[in-house]
Amino acid sequence: METPEGLRAILADPAGAVIGLDFDGTLSPIVPDPDAARIHPRGPALLARLGERIGAVVIVTGRPAAKAVEYGSLAGVPGLVVLGHYGLERWEAGTLTAPPVHPGLARVRAELPPLISGIEGARFEDKERSVAVHTRQAAQPQAALDALRDPVAKLAAEAGLAVEPGKFVLELRPPGVDKGMALSAFLAERAARSVLFAGDDLGDLAAFAAVRASGLPGVTVFSGSAEITVEADIVVDGPDGVMDLLGSIADAIGS
């Protein structure tokens, strides 16, 4: 495969590059229990190598930023920025900045668990600034997700929250921010000269669009799985493939 223009730009001028990465499904293999997710074993060392030479490495995730740092063992990655909750939170050099919790969260925290209690295998995740319902552990994950779509959408609308669908998950989160907005603002802040973003799920599409809209030499990387197909400049085989790609970038720019 010919090296995409965006990747060539990153290799030619690493100090001007931003490498943006999703967490679950991209850096961290998908597992049934959201609390059991951990970064790929090669992740921390690879990101540390990239952090030394790349202009900026930024993780843009639906997780709380501190959870991504913890589950990723990432506190020591040089210069790392983590934008959590789709850009609502920012973690940098051990400091977390975040807005107040959205007032609608109290209502969904109270009403979502009873609403999903009739759905076999459905699981509630409380992320403080958002909540999620997962169906991966149901006997029929897709049917369970489909059964939840309308009641979850109704509850979210009444609480003034947005629904973010993903891999066997529906999140209820504050509106007005997405991974594309978060990445675009970060590129501007860093005066980036090139960009790569890697993701695996529907929430990452906004970041892919931001790469394309940035006007920079850019490359989108899809961490492929059997669960979803998305067009991107480079498609790799899940987190193993992401690690191979990041490793080849780190090797090419030296350490």
Q: Please tell me the distance from the alpha carbon of residue 2 to that of residue 59, in angstroms, as a whole number.
A: 27
The interface region with ligand L263DTV3, picked from 21-29, 38-46, 151-159, 213-221 by CB under 6 A, is 21-29
- Which ranges in the chain belong to alpha helices (H)? 5-12, 43-53, 65-72, 104-116, 141-159, 179-189, 205-213, 238-253
* 37 scored as a contact of ligand L263DTV3 (CB under 6 A): yes
Nearer to ligand L263DTV3, 134 or 193 (CB): 134
* 22 scored as a contact of ligand L263DTV3 (CB under 6 A): yes
Cβ contacts of 179 within 8 Å, gap of 6 or more? 22, 60, 83, 86, 87, 199, 203, 204, 206, 207, 210
Give the x/- contact pattern for ligand L263DTV3 in 60-89, rule: CB under 6 A.
-xxx--------------------------
Q: Please tell me the distance from the alpha carbon of residue 64 to that of residue 51, in angstroms, as a whole number.
A: 21
Strand partners, 215: none
Helix (H, G, I), strand (E, B) or coil at 78: coil
DSSP secondary structure code for residue 98 in this structure? -
* 239 scored as a contact of ligand L263DTV3 (CB under 6 A): no
* CA-closest candidate to residue 165, choices 142, 138, 185, 184: 142
CB of 121 to ligand L263DTV3, least distance (A): 12
Helix (H, G, I), strand (E, B) or coil at 90: strand
Q: Please tell me the distance from the alpha carbon of residue 167 to that of residue 240, in angstroms, as a whole number.
A: 18
Q: Which of 16, 25, 51, 87 binds ligand L263DTV3 (CB under 6 A)?
A: 25
Q: Which of residues 113-142 bind ligand L263DTV3 (CB under 6 A)?
A: 125, 127, 132, 134, 136
Which pair of tokens denotes residue 134? 């997962």
Nearer to ligand L263DTV3, 15 or 31 (CB): 31
Q: Please tell me the distance from the alpha carbon of residue 236 to that of residue 45, in angstroms, as a whole number.
A: 20
* 34 scored as a contact of ligand L263DTV3 (CB under 6 A): yes
Q: Which of 167, 178, 220, 243 binds ligand L263DTV3 (CB under 6 A)?
A: 167
The interface region with ligand L263DTV3, picked from 40-48, 73-81, 164-172, 212-220 by CB under 6 A, is 164-172
Q: Which of 7, 39, 108, 169 binds ligand L263DTV3 (CB under 6 A)?
A: 169
**Which residue sits closest to ligand L263DTV3, CB atoms considered?**
62
Q: Which of 24, 89, 178, 233 binds ligand L263DTV3 (CB under 6 A)?
A: 24
Other CB atoms closer than 10 Å to residue 223's CB: what's the count? 30
Q: Which of residues 188-217 bind ligand L263DTV3 (CB under 6 A)?
A: 201, 203
List interacting residues with ligand L263DTV3 (CB under 6 A): 22-25, 30-32, 34, 37, 61-63, 125, 127, 132, 134, 136, 166-169, 171, 201, 203
